[in-house]
Structure 1
Amino acid sequence: MRVGIDKIGLFTPNKYVDMVDLAHARNEDPNKYLIGIGQSEMSVADQTQDAVSMGINATMKYIDRIDKDKIGLLVFGTESGIDQSKSASLFVKTALKLKPEVRTFEVKEACFGLTAALMIARDFVRVHPDKTAMVIGSDIARYGIGTAGEVTQGAGSVSMLIKADPAILALNDGHSAYSEDINDFWRPNDSKLAMVDGKYSTQVYLDFFSKTFADYKKQKKLETNDFDAIIYHLPFTKMGLKANRLAVADQDEATTEKLQNSFDASKQLSRRVGNIYTASLYMSLLSLLENGNLPAGALVGLFSYGSGAMGELYSGNLVEGYEKEVNAAGDEKMLKRRQKVSVPEYEEIFNTALDDPEDNEELTSDDEKGTWYFAGTKGNIRQYKVK
């Protein structure tokens, strides 16, 4: 029995800042951001969008095409949690009107969270093949105005349905995992801004990729040229490019070109949205599906990384007809709906979003009709509404 990804949806907020504008405001050469970091735009979340609302909106992209009564599990991966106790998934479950029998909880390990959720869901479906599982990764990456990490911020969510006989990607048995207790990135309880040692984190990311990629190939008796694509967690696209260069080192021209082309396809959405932490790898997958030209059966390697640190390499094969399950035109329309904001406007939105609204203050959304948003709190209980 094959188990894997059957549906996938992406959401990002309705505002963005242009990296050329940001570079000029920070007295930097734009090419430092456009080429050196590999980003061209960065989605910006205002007070009305949080991990929960974005997760709902990502799921709404496919909810009308599935049988909700078959869902037995909902797992939410995030490092932008909105409550120290209550799971973000419960708010989503209510908004989607899922059955009370659905088992639901939240998981955390930095950017590895959605991969952890996916593996839990895969195993659940293997034991309950008549059921499906929903997994969501949703995050707002914040490092602070004027910081070294500012250009690697972003906001968004990816939601996926996991089931037997999937329509998009069939997951293969086995994986290579590697973890260490290190301090390359963290966010204390009293801070909405992450703390990061950027150069160290890059070094660890690349080291974990090398270890897991080599081990996975050994386990599965694969060579690099057996992969039709390798995709990566992308905190910024240049990070993935560095990992891909390690993957193709000493490979022939044909393999190098094949994997470079697939990487180029996989980075297009990330380049425009920015870092979305737990969902970044799966935005790479969606970008590959929309911009690549891979045949059914193509072997795709996926490298997941969460600072602190946890890395994992696994693979899947594309399913016949997977193209029917993605909507490149719809995602492009979603990106184009975004309003370009000036750097001063972005700074005001950013700083305002760092503060919680006063209790009983009602927030309203300026996004499109049908968009879910955080409407503030009543009696310190979070309220979510649809526009």
Structure 2
Amino acid sequence: MPGKKRLRRLWPLLALALTLGLAAAAYFAPRLVYSSFGYLWLRPQDGDLDQAAMAELNQKTDGLKCRVVWSSSRSGNHELYMLRLPVGEIIRLTDNDHVDFFPRFSPDGKRLVFARSQKQWVSERDYNQWDVWLMDLNTGEQTMLARAGNFPLWVDEDVVSFMRGNKVVVKSVGTGTERVIYDGDGPPVGGVIVTPMLSPAQANLLALTARGAARGCLVFDPRTPDKAVNFGDGCKLIFTPDGKGLIWVENGGNGGNRLMTSPVGRVAPTVFMDLPGDFSHEYFPKLSADGRWLVWAASAGGHEHDIADYEIFIWNTSKPWDQAARLTYNEANDRWPDIFLD
């Protein structure tokens, strides 16, 4: 009898443990599958800007002359594509059996820096199995800039920053010299860093997403990590082009995500963009050099960054949100856009 009573007392605990285990499996198992076999979900997809979509796009962008580059799986594999406005021409830039993503225009618009996977399929959740590549947009020539690097950004015409493990590295394109400017294993992060970006206005100011002892959107000078400022939970933190503001992705809003903004000097977050309609799960924001135009990707509910049906959008930041225009129309994964004004 005592054994049966003890067993009856244990049943609620066993049921709770089973429930928690099933919940954890439901949450993490799909991510594990996507991370290892995500390419199985990718298929060639048709769909481009038709005449009506182009008319709406040109109306909402006032005939803007620019180029937008992004990563798309529309071929069945993630390659880089570029759209020229106002003509609406889409050009495929890369063609290989690896994953190309995170393209960024050089300050003069003549080159791209981007990340390429070290093997055929690497999930975006794996931050490490990537190399940094350069592309000459005039010749199409592609060269590796740095082994084992991810999330590259132009600091100036000669210097590119990127993430290598938990370190932030800057490298001269001309000389090939590298320098580590921050190690995320130390304070204030004490763990994983994501999408680090140096301020365009203050040479030693760093913005990144922290996933360690500190969590959230951090801004700090690596020389004085004890003065780091946390702008709240979120990700994909970027500086505005003048270095005075920040934009990041936060849970909440219409589609489960929204874009937030705050001045750098104080924590004062407000909603920057929360697109009306179905495609309101916003991610991957990037501003034009003058800060006037925002490009980003949004899904109608799917979240997985390199598999879900994200579409690319553009918006004149001086106008209401409903004046945003859609640039892609297919069921492929379109992500990480950048814009260059011609």
TM over 0.5: no
When normalised by structure 1's length, the TM-score is 0.30
Structure showing greater Rg: 2
Relative contact order, higher structure (CA 8 A, sep 6+): 1
More helix by share: 1
When normalised by structure 2's length, the TM-score is 0.33
More strand by share: 2
